[in-house]
């Protein structure tokens, strides 16, 4: 385990809260401090830490890997920030994008033509973990002259087939 300043602060907060709570049960400071010291790791790792993970939307950031992109589409959201920041795909042709990312999942709709736009490919990125997340991440790749010009990261509301409208 890596000890970070945030970990130390959180553990101190848990210890102080436990100490204050146990102090209401028994007024002997040495006993309260000893029990708080013993219980702090258990309360932190079995109550506080899981709660923080449920309510936060933190996720690991990974470098782009074409093999992982194709094999684990539900975890693409971990790689997309690196792809956009590094302009990894800018300038790629449609064939190169198909080789690296696989076949597009859907095309964007063009209201002017009342048809799908073959120059705007979309890929689903999965759903970021979190208790209050009702959005799925997507990426739109815009081509100009058969080369990638723009990557647009956006979110859509999650819908289910059996959901009443």
Q: Where are the alpha helices (DSSP H) in the chain?
A: 5-25, 29-43, 49-55, 66-71, 77-86, 94-101
CATH number for the segment(s) 66-157: 3.30.1450.10
Residue ranges matching CATH 3.30.1450.10 in the chain:
66-157
Model confidence band, residue 17 (pLDDT cutoffs 50, 70, 90): very high
pLDDT digits (tens, 9 = 90+) for 67-109: 999 999 888 988 988 888 888 899 999 999 999 999 999 999 8
- Name the average pLDDT for the chain: 88
pTM for this one? Answer: 0.68
List b or e across 116-144, with b for residues whose CB sees 16 or more CB atoms inside 10 angstroms. ebebbbbbbbbeeeeeeeeebbbbbbebe
């Amino acid at each position: 385990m890596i000890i970070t300043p945030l970990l130390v602060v959180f553990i101190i907060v848990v210890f102080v809260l436990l100490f204050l709570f146990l102090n209401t049960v028994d007024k002997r400071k040495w006993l309260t401090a000893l029990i708080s010291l013993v219980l702090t790791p258990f309360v932190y790792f079995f109550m506080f830490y899981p709660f923080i993970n449920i309510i936060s939307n933190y996720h690991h950031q990974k470098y782009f890997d074409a093999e992982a992109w194709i094999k684990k589409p539900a975890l693409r959201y971990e790689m997309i920030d690196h792809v956009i920041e590094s302009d990894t795909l800018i300038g790629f042709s449609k064939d190169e994008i198909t080789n690296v990312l696989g076949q597009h999942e859907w095309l964007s709709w063009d209201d002017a033509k009342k048809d799908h736009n073959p120059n705007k490919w979309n890929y689903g990125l999965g759903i970021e973990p979190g208790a209050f997340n009702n959005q799925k991440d997507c990426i739109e790749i815009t081509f100009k002259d058969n080369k990638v010009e723009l990557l647009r990261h956006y979110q859509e509301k999650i819908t289910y087939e059996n959901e009443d409208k």
